[in-house]
Amino acid sequence: MQYQNILVSVENGIAVLTMNREKALNALNRQTMEELKAFFETDAHTIEGLKGVIITGAGEKAFVAGADITEFQGFSAEDGKMLAKRGQDTFFSIERFPKPVVAAVNGFALGGGCELAMACHLRIAGEKAKFGQPEVNLGLIPGYGGTQRLIQCIGKTKAFELLMTADMIGAEDALRLGLVNYAVPAGEEVAKAKELIEKIATKAPVAIAKIIESVTAYFKEDVDGFAKEVDYFGECCGTEDFVEGAAAFVEKRKAAFTGR
């Protein structure tokens, strides 16, 4: 797909996806959401030797400052449902991506931007990062998974507070609450994300993909996550990577995983 609102660069097997609407604080409009979906459902799977994906924002002010509210005006209830469903489907494609996806949050991550960050597997916050779900200020609620993923990240009690007050929190509070994995100096977000992906890339690729599937299964309605764990454990036992990993452990050497 030809992208208009995102930039993708690949170096050493790591794709950096930059939300590229700096003048609009990288707000999520329909075109941007379609590009994100196309990347994670199709284009990313064609990148040879991909280790993982980093999502960040253009400029120094914003990761993603929210959805593009100008597109919401005149919406009916049915229009709203369709928009939320499309947004959730796009973010599911990120959450279920078989390689690690890391949000490198370099500024405002509000509304849809916070939801985008939470759809990633890991989150790095720069010291200028600000997180929040301010939808109630517009007479709305989060529609791209925010009411569900915020609970998963920080728990029900604090999630209720942030969702109902629309308060923003900084990097250190986000780290304390468990919303992000690391808080780093401004400008070091992408470097830390690359460091994490490189570390994960030394592990068995099939096992990493099954970890993502297993953890995601915990939050799926009518899915027995424990049963999925049993299935995926068994599948891993049948891989060449398990044979190699076990042999390397016994022989006290570094494993050479092939992803098979």
Give 190-204 pLDDT, tens digit per residue.
999 999 999 999 999
Q: Of the listed 35, 95, 135, 189, which one is catalytic? A: 135
> For the range 38-47, what are the long-range contacts, defined as Cβ-Cβ under 8 Å and sequence gap of 24 or more?
38/1, 39/1, 39/3, 39/6, 39/8, 40/90, 40/93, 40/94, 40/97, 40/101, 41/93, 42/1, 43/1, 43/8, 44/15, 44/97, 44/99, 47/10, 47/15
Same domain, 60 and 138: yes
Torsion-angle region of residue 10: left (phi > 0), alpha (psi -120 to 50) or beta? beta
- What one-character DSSP code corresponds to residue 49? T
Encoded amino acid at 124, one letter: I
Angle at 204 between CA 200 and CA 205, to 5 degrees: 80
Same domain, 152 and 233: no
Encoded amino acid at 132, one letter: G
Query: Annotated catalytic, 78?
Result: no
Residue 255 lies in a domain: no
Same domain, 108 and 192: yes
Residue 142 has pLDDT above 90, yes or no: yes
Could you say which of 200, 223, 241 is where a domain stops?
Answer: 200
Query: Annotated catalytic, 115?
Result: yes
Instruction: State how far the Cα of 229 lies from the Cα of 244, in Å rounded to an integer.
Output: 21
How much of the chain exceeds pLDDT 90, in percent? 85
Query: Closest by alpha carbon to 158, among 145, 173, 171, 143?
Result: 173
Query: What is the predicted pLDDT for the residue at 219?
Result: 86
Q: How confident is the model at residue 220 (pLDDT cuts 50, 70, 90)?
A: confident
Q: Of the listed 48, 115, 229, 251, which one is catalytic? A: 115
Range of the domain at 58: 6-200
Same domain, 189 and 214: no
Residue 172 lies in a domain: yes
Residue 215 has pLDDT above 90, yes or no: yes
Q: What is the pLDDT of residues 67-124, one digit of tens each?
A: 888 888 788 999 989 999 999 999 999 999 999 999 999 999 999 999 999 999 999 9
Q: Lowest-confidence range among 24-33, 145-154, 221-230?
A: 221-230
Strands 6-11 and 14-19: antiparallel
Same domain, 160 and 53: yes
Residue 41 has pLDDT above 90, yes or no: yes
